[in-house]
Amino acid sequence: MIASRSPTTALLLGLVITLATVVAYSWYISGQISGLRRLQTELTDRNRRDSLQLLRIQNDLNQLALAMRDMLDAAEPYPLTAWSAQFERIRLDLDDAVKQQGEVALARQTPEQREYLTTSFNQFWNAVDRIFELARAGDETEARTQIELSLQARQAALSSAVARLLVQNNEAEEQTAQQVQDIYRRVQQQVYWFLAATLAAIVATSLYLIRSNRRLFARLATLSDERRGLAQTLIATRESTLREISRELHDEFGQVLTAIGSMLGRAGKHAPEGSPLRADLREIGEVAQTALENVRGLSQTLHPSILEQAGLASTIDWYLSTVEKQLGLRVTLTTEGAARPVDSTKAIHVYRVLQEALSNVARHSGTDHAFVRLCFDAEDLRMEIEDHGRGIDPDTARRSLGLVAMRERAAIVGGTLEFLRPADGGTLVRLSMPLAP
């Protein structure tokens, strides 16, 4: 009888071949992934850091351009030397940014480009030093001429050079992305057959990941709700604190200053007419009256007591009358419908949204005219703040803490906040909220 051959040897050989194949392909894939990781780490990450430093340099150059524009503004009451500290601060930041950019810059940046940047920055700062020397010597007219003829041109040339480097970085990122795609394509072609054997593990892993992601997103939703609740609590606490501080300033300090003014007035009546003491008492009384007015103004800024006394519509009308003096902004107010009372706990948030929106217009829009519309109907209040300036940047809208606070305030009053672009350009901020509690 012929003895049957045991399948153990064949099974072991098949297992060895299978393991060897898996190990070989795993080694190959690991090598490809390692190469991809090195490419991303050494090129992509380095290029990103290079771009960040170039953006930092570009931002500093933009700050210099704004400073030079202010220096050439004939309406500025300050001498040119007042800008020397700002230039020195920007110079230190620029030197650090240029140094860090040189450390992470890729080899494609030629020595000529680096030498050009170094020489241009040195020439720029030498020109700055000469201009401030002229200003310190009292020749501000010549200094302003040098700024207009030489310094602004050098700044523009540096900005152009930095912009070109940023364009090169973007092109390098595209090349790196293409190389990454090529590696992925090669790996994909080699591992198609391996997918069938690992499909079960992938399915199991996917189910596990789906379950984990559902838990994660549920947790994120909970954290988001908690964050919103915390933000609203902080806003409410802030308003409560400002209200108390405002009340203390108005009641305590205001009364003290009023009493001081009254006592000084009585004391002045007892002093001889035309005596130095009487003049001094009158001067002190004027100082006390000025301090009283400043305290009352600060009290209204922290928390407008007129809001509880006269209502939201009157408070907004009063506030807009002060905006041109405070922010240099002309505001046209339009009211539609009969003004209705708004609960003070809601009205303060509407008022703060208006303050923040007009502050943004004054700082960022590039225009000196804004339009405010209040629309009252049976159940809702709609407030719109519109300007025809530069418009809002979507990235800035997502990151700005002031805009985030505006959205939170809108949520507190049960309303919605929208950032729109009018037909004439610029920005339209629209707050809609129910008037009912």
What was the pLDDT predicted at 2?
40
What was the pLDDT predicted at 301?
65
From CA 300, how far away is CA 307, in angstroms rounded? 10
Residue 434: which H helix or E strand, with range? strand 427-434
Q: Hey, is 75 helix, strand or coil?
A: coil
What was the pLDDT predicted at 109?
62
Tokens standing for residue 220? 């994120």
What was the pLDDT predicted at 371?
93
From CA 390, how far away is CA 367, in angstroms rounded? 8
Instruction: Return the CATH number of the domain spanning residue range 306-434.
Output: 3.30.565.10
From CA 254, how far away is CA 104, in angstroms rounded? 59
Q: What is the pLDDT along the chain (437 residues), one digit of tens a residue?
A: 344 444 556 556 766 776 777 677 677 777 767 776 666 666 677 777 878 888 888 898 898 888 888 888 767 677 888 888 888 898 899 888 888 877 776 545 667 777 777 888 888 888 888 888 888 888 888 888 888 888 888 888 888 888 888 888 777 777 777 777 777 777 677 667 776 776 666 566 667 667 777 887 888 777 767 766 766 677 667 666 766 676 666 556 666 666 777 776 667 666 667 667 767 777 777 777 777 666 666 666 666 767 777 788 888 888 888 888 878 889 999 998 888 888 878 888 888 899 889 988 988 888 889 999 999 888 889 999 999 888 776 566 556 777 888 888 888 888 899 988 888 888 999 999 998 76
Query: Taking phi first (over 0 means left), then psi (-120 to 50 degrees means alpha), and beta for anything else, what does residue 141 get?
Result: alpha
Domain chopping of the chain, boundaries: 12-222, 235-302, 306-434
From CA 261, how far away is CA 267, in angstroms rounded? 10
Look-up of token digits 């947790």: 219
Tell how strand 380-387 and strand 427-434 pair up: antiparallel
What was the pLDDT predicted at 98?
82
Look-up of token digits 């003049």: 279
Extended beta strands in 7-58, E state: none
Residue 266: which H helix or E strand, with range? helix 254-270
pTM score > 0.75 for this model? no
